[in-house]
């Protein structure tokens, strides 16, 4: 008989923690999982799912306007923010319940409360002490606002999902995917939207051509972008908020959304008591099997840093379950991970940017196509789509694919399979396109751009 109450105790019931718990239990382990906020973690509650619902909502104004070119006359549409938020909340509650049922059906025990490590095998929660042979840390990350004069007036994406009314004038600070997505959402819903970023071009790490194209398209849609700017202070006024920028200029708005990064949720987790090491940024250090420096303690997801993606956390959770309870040491290949930014227009990418490919492979061949999609022609919509392939010249392998345009994420999912399978440009060229679609451009680009 085991000297421990559980084979695996998971702290954090986000996507990764739930996946690890479910499969560990299915593999025969006795599993418990603790959560102090909400089942499903950031993604389900204040991340991917509600954000995508708001993205869908924000597209309708443009669709209504475009419909006139196709013969529709629908009058003046009216948007109700409170109705949207109420409907979103109901959907999130439904998903919360599903996560709970999935864990219960798998046989995992759920603890609601803050869990803290006492030593490598012991957890304290709700006044109770619990022992486990293995412990998995999956506590995720949390948005933060740097301290500066008036920073208390700023909100993060967490609070935006629960605003009682839509701000009519909003300033968004940041240059990552969260900042860009909410700029599109709020602009699409009719708010005067201004984006402030300290660098000369947002989406650092993405392909430069993609970044430049997206900036042009966002400006076309009405988002005012301020590059190479920083906020000095926020001042509360009778009319709302005044944002004072580094160059002395000011912005008047009703709300300031900070999307300048997230930090790992490790506060009061008991890492010191258990001897778990973190890096200089506060992320838990793990090896390729997600094992910390303490042999029986593992960590996955946002709390270990790297790409903050739900599917990646899911894969890591599965890997830990296999490693511990199927005698199958499993890691996660991170070279070709597809991802999307649900900006407007949306971005999707897999593999290497042109810049990284040149550094990694030397000689590369670049294929680029920019065009107006067919559905925009009758509508008179000025949006242009960009598709790009990056090819290793020596092997002819496609090592990067990028898209800016409607449904980019849906299209890139299929492209990702081909690229992970090692498809060459010749194979792309012999693939018949589906006509007329935007996606067919990926298999009809014959002439190299450079």
Tally of CB atoms within 10 A around 331:
14
Final residue belonging to a domain, choices 325, 350, 366: 325
Q: Which residue has the tokens 């030397």?
A: 362
Q: Is position 450 within any domain?
A: no
Q: Is position 252 within any domain?
A: yes
Give the max Cα distance, the chain: 74
**Which distant-in-sequence residues (6+ apart) come within 8 Å of 20 by Cβ?**
8, 10, 136, 138, 300, 316, 317, 318, 320, 321
Q: Is position 185 within any domain?
A: yes
Determine whether 155 is exposed, middle or buried from the number of CB atoms within 10 Å of its CB (0-12, 13-18, 19+): middle
Q: What total of structural domains would you count in the chain?
A: 3
Q: Is position 417 within any domain?
A: yes
Q: Is position 418 within any domain?
A: yes
Closest CA to 234 of 166, 174, 186, 173: 173
Element (H, E) at 2: none
Q: Is position 330 within any domain?
A: no
Final residue belonging to a domain, choices 210, 238, 260: 260
Determine whether 66 is exposed, middle or buried from the number of CB atoms within 10 Å of its CB (0-12, 13-18, 19+): middle
Indicate if 251 and 236 belong to the same structural domain.
Answer: yes
- Number of C-alpha atoms within 13 angstroms, CB side, residue 97? 6
Q: Is position 448 within any domain?
A: no
Indicate if 250 and 160 belong to the same structural domain.
Answer: yes
Indicate if 202 and 310 belong to the same structural domain.
Answer: no
Tally of CB atoms within 10 A around 68:
13
Which region holds residue 258: left if phi is over 0, alpha if psi is between -120 and 50, else beta? beta
Examine the residue annotation and report whether 121 is marked as an active-site residue of this protein: no
Give the single-character DSSP code of 334: -
Final residue belonging to a domain, choices 294, 325, 356: 325
For residues 312 and 302, what is the distance between their CA atoms, to the nearest angstrom? 9
Indicate if 64 and 173 belong to the same structural domain.
Answer: no
Indicate if 108 and 175 belong to the same structural domain.
Answer: no
Indicate if 177 and 192 belong to the same structural domain.
Answer: yes
Q: What is the dihedral of CA 257, 262, 265, 267, to 10 degrees?
A: -80
Indicate if 32 and 127 belong to the same structural domain.
Answer: yes
| CATH number of the domain to which 60 belongs | 3.50.50.60
pLDDT of residue 1: 54
Indicate if 40 and 84 belong to the same structural domain.
Answer: yes
For residues 196 and 183, what is the distance between their CA atoms, to the nearest angstrom? 10
pLDDT tens per residue, the chain (450 residues)? 579 999 999 999 999 999 999 999 999 999 999 999 999 999 999 999 999 999 999 999 999 999 999 999 988 899 999 999 999 999 999 999 999 999 999 999 999 999 999 999 999 999 999 999 999 999 999 999 999 999 999 999 999 999 999 999 999 999 999 999 999 999 999 999 999 999 999 999 999 999 999 999 999 999 999 999 999 999 999 999 999 999 999 999 999 999 999 999 999 999 999 999 999 999 999 999 999 999 999 999 999 999 999 999 999 999 999 999 999 999 999 999 999 999 999 999 999 999 999 999 999 999 999 999 999 999 999 999 999 999 999 999 999 999 999 999 999 999 999 999 999 999 999 999 999 999 999 999 999 999
For residues 257 and 212, what is the distance between their CA atoms, to the nearest angstrom? 23
Write a three-state SS string for 65-84. HHHHHHCCCCCCCCCCHHHH
Indicate if 187 and 41 belong to the same structural domain.
Answer: no
Q: What range defines the domain where residue 110 resides?
A: 6-142+263-325
Give the single-character DSSP code of 344: S
pLDDT of residue 2: 75
Q: Which residue has the tokens 């399978």?
A: 421
Indicate if 231 and 185 belong to the same structural domain.
Answer: yes
Indicate if 301 and 203 belong to the same structural domain.
Answer: no
């Amino acid at each position: 008989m085991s000297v421990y109450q559980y084979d695996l105790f998971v702290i954090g019931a986000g996507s990764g923690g739930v996946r690890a718990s479910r499969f560990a239990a299915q593999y025969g382990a006795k599993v418990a999982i603790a959560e102090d906020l909400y089942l499903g973690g950031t993604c389900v509650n204040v991340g991917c799912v509600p954000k995508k619902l708001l993205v869908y909502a924000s597209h309708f104004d443009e669709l209504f306007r475009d419909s006139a070119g196709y013969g529709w006359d629908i009058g003046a549409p009216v948007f109700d923010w409170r109705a949207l938020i109420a409907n979103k909340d109901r959907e999130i509650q439904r998903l919360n319940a599903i996560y709970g049922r999935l864990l219960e059906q798998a046989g995992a025990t759920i603890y609601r409360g803050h869990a803290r490590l006492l030593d490598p095998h012991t957890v304290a929660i709700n006044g109770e002490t619990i022992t486990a042979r293995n412990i998995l840390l999956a506590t995720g990350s949390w948005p933060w606002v740097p301290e500066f004069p008036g920073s208390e007036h700023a909100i993060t994406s967490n609070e935006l999902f629960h605003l009682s009314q839509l701000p009519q004038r909003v300033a968004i600070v940041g240059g990552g995917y969260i900042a860009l997505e909410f700029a599109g959402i709020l602009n699409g819903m009719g708010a005067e939207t201004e984006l402030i970023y300290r660098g000369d071009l947002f989406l650092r790490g993405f392909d430069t051509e993609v970044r430049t194209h997206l900036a042009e398209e966002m400006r076309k849609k009405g988002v005012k972008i301020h590059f190479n700017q920083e906020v000095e202070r926020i001042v509360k006024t009778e009319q709302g908020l005044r944002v004072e920028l580094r160059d002395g200029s000011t912005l008047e708005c009703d709300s300031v959304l900070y999307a300048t990064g997230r930090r790992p949720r490790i506060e009061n987790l008991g890492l010191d008591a258990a001897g778990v090491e973190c890096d200089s940024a506060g992320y838990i250090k793990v090896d390729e099997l997600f094992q910390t420096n303490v042999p029986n303690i593992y960590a996955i997801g946002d709390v270990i840093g790297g790409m903050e993606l739900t599917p990646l956390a899911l894969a890591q959770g599965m890997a830990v379950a296999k490693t511990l309870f199927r005698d199958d040491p499993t890691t996660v290949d991170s070279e070709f991970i597809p991802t999307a930014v649900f900006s407007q227009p949306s971005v999707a990418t897999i593999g290497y940017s042109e810049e990284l490919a040149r550094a990694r492979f030397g000689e590369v061949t670049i294929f680029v196509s920019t065009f107006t999609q067919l559905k925009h022609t009758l509508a008179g919509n000025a949006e242009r789509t960009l598709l790009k392939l990056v090819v290793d010249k020596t092997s002819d392998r496609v090592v990067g694919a990028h898209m800016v345009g409607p449904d980019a994420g849906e299209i890139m999912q299929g492209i990702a399979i081909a690229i992970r399978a090692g498809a060459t440009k010749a194979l792309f060229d012999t693939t018949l396109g589906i006509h007329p679609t935007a996606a067919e451009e990926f298999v009809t680009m014959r002439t190299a751009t450079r």
